[in-house]
């Protein structure tokens, strides 16, 4: 046990050194006491946030939380619904989301009660930024069914990591 503890301390010291020298990390609560929801059939911004980038490098952005889709069933025996969620470069948009604006399905096969289940989500984008400045991200969503409401909760957070260099990766 003493050995494992020593490895953990060494690992933490190395990580702390790297963070202090190069990498920057930021976390923000996107809910801040508000319910994030939409009933819109068009891409709608639920929340936006701005990152101050200290110089050229890579920005890794993750937004995480839980979702619940409230669908008014057309029959008492089943319900299904769809929504779209993404991390985008423009407000109320689905085309500038770096392939993150994707479809999520919810199906309650028996619809035996009015309890909706919640599911977790994580959206990740990695972006190269060529210079120091501000970069705004938009958490956009839309529903695909009538009488449907999307709720995001579970302490929706955005985590941003900045690394001042780009790592080249090749596939074979």
Rounded mean pLDDT, 69-84: 74
9 by DSSP, 3-state: which?
helix
Answer whether residue 1 is part of any domain.
no
CATH of the domain at 159: 2.60.120.1340
The arithmetic mean of pLDDT across residues 40-65, rounded, is 95
What pLDDT does 113 receive? 59
Whether residue 153 is contained in a domain is answered as yes
Closest CA to 121 of 24, 26, 30, 25: 30
**85 in the Ramachandran plot: left (φ > 0), alpha (ψ -120 to 50) or beta?**
beta
> What is the reported pTM?
0.81
pLDDT in the model for residue 159 = 96
Let me know if residue 13 belongs to a domain: no
The structure tokens 């989301």 sit at 97
Range of the domain at 120: 24-163
pLDDT band at residue 167 using 50, 70 and 90 as cut-offs: confident
- Decide if 12 is inside a domain: no
Domain count, the chain: 1
DSSP 8-state secondary structure symbol assigned to residue 2: H
Residue 172 inside a domain? The answer is no
Query: What is the separation, in whole angstroms, between the first and last Cα of the chain?
Result: 41
Q: Who has greater pLDDT, 21 or 64?
A: 64
Assigned domain for 62 exists? yes
> If you search the block for the tokens 């046990």, which residue do you land on?
1
Is residue 171 included in any domain, yes or no?
no
For residue 96, is pLDDT > 50? yes
The residues near 93 (Cβ < 8 Å, ≥ 6 apart) are 43, 138, 140
The tens digit of pLDDT for each residue in 119-129 reads: 899 999 999 99
The string of DSSP letters for 17-75 reads: HHHHHT-EEEEEES-TT--EEE--SS-EEEEEEEEEE-SSEEEEEEEEEEEEEEE--SB
Q: Is residue 114 part of a domain?
A: yes
Q: What is the pLDDT of residue 20?
A: 39
The span from the CA of 33 to the CA of 30, in Å, is: 9
């Amino acid at each position: 046990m003493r050995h494992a503890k020593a490895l953990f301390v060494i690992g933490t010291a190395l990580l702390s050194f790297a963070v202090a020298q190069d990498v920057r990390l930021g976390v923000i609560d996107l809910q801040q006491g508000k319910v994030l929801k939409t009933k819109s059939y068009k891409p709608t911004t639920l929340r936006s946030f701005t990152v101050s980038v200290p110089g050229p490098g890579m920005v890794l952005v993750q937004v995480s939380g839980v979702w619940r889709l409230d669908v008014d069933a057309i029959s008492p025996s089943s319900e299904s619904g769809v929504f779209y969620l993404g991390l985008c470069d423009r407000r109320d948009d689905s085309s500038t989301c770096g392939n993150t604006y994707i479809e999520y399905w919810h199906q309650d096969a028996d619809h035996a009660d009015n309890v909706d289940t919640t599911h977790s989500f994580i959206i990740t984008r990695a972006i190269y930024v060529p210079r120091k400045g501000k970069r705004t991200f938009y958490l956009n969503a839309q529903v695909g069914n009538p009488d449907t409401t999307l709720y995001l909760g579970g302490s929706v957070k955005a985590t941003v990591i900045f690394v001042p260099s780009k790592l080249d990766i090749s596939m074979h």
